């Protein structure tokens, strides 16, 4: 069995990076949360339901803005770290799968949201299971994706593909395979096909972060594909990354990030 084609195994793999996930993964732009609040017409004190908080990358910024949040997190270790990161915040973290979870009270939520976890929820039930809990809107980020800007992106990512190919983990280097700002996949069709929600707002966000050698290796260790990679492949890849980045004067790499904010209104 190819572990990288098994969604249930992939979504549980992040447990292995729980101790450093919060620091290694990039923060979302503050403007994204401000845009969400405006588009969903949220006010302090609103009750939010989060699907998959991991260590709280998207939870903390919203909790600091005065929202009451219930998060359902599949990974026990991730949930433990999240509780530590969210001490003093009005956040209740429940360990379990969103597909199986049922609220203890009949009171609904003003918003159901997910960041990078949405792609891991069973597509057969993700919108259907989320609808009964939400009184008004549902929204989610698109999964974080790196993109390459022609003429402005770091050439490292194309160059390192030769190593990925050598270990049997390569991707297409065709220009069409490298997303650009504003070109990330939108989930309008998927959301509206459910028949339960109507898109009311979409906005793309992109930003850049510089990673030094060890920071970049830690980042890669939070990706399911690298977590489940055979040890000899990881060793060869990380060794080559260190050699190439350490040969640069700045010993770092510029990585671009992009995400898509979707806000959808419950039809009824």
pLDDT per 10-residue tile (average), the chain, 268 residues: 59 86 93 95 94 94 97 94 97 92 79 88 78 74 58 83 93 60 84 89 92 96 93 98 98 92 88
pLDDT of the residue at 110 = 92
Which residues pair with residue 112 across a beta bridge? 49, 138
pLDDT of the residue at 175 = 47
pTM of the model: 0.88
The pairing of strands 145-146 and 252-266 is antiparallel
Burial class (CB in 10 A: 0-12, 13-18, 19+), 145: middle
pLDDT of the residue at 5 = 52
Q: Which CATH number fits domain 3-148+180-208+256-266: 3.40.50.10490, 3.40.50.300, 3.90.700.10, 3.40.50.150?
A: 3.40.50.150
- Contact 18/81 with Cβ under 8 angstroms? yes
pLDDT of the residue at 139 = 81
């Amino acid at each position: 069995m190819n572990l990288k084609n098994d969604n249930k195994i992939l979504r549980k793999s992040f447990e292995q990076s729980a101790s450093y996930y919060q620091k290694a993964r990039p923060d979302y732009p503050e403007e994204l949360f401000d845009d969400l609040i405006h588009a969903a017409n949220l006010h302090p004190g609103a009750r939010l339901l989060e699907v998959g908080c991991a260590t709280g990358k998207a939870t903390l910024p919203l909790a600091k803005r005065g929202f009451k949040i219930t998060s359902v997190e599949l990974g026990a270790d991730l949930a433990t770290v999240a509780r530590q990161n969210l001490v003093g915040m009005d956040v209740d973290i429940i360990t379990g799968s969103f597909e199986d979870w049922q609220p203890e009270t009949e009171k609904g939520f003003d918003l159901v949201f997910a960041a990078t976890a949405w792609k891991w929820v069973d597509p057969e039930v993700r919108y259907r299971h989320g609808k009964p809990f939400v009184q008004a809107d549902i929204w989610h980020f698109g999964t974080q994706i790196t993109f390459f800007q022609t003429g402005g992106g770091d050439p490292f990512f194309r160059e390192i593909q030769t190593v990925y190919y050598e270990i049997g983990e390569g991707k297409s280097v065709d220009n069409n395979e490298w997303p650009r700002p504003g070109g990330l996949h939108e989930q309008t069709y998927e959301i509206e096909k459910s028949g339960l929600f109507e898109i009311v707002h979409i906005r793309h966000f992109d930003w850049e972060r510089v990673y030094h050698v060890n920071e970049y290796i830690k980042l890669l260790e939070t990706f399911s594909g690298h977590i489940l990679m055979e040890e000899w492949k990881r060793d060869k890849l990380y060794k080559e990354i260190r050699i190439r980045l350490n040969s640069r004067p700045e010993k770092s790499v510029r990585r671009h990030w992009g995400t898509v904010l979707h806000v959808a209104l419950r039809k009824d």
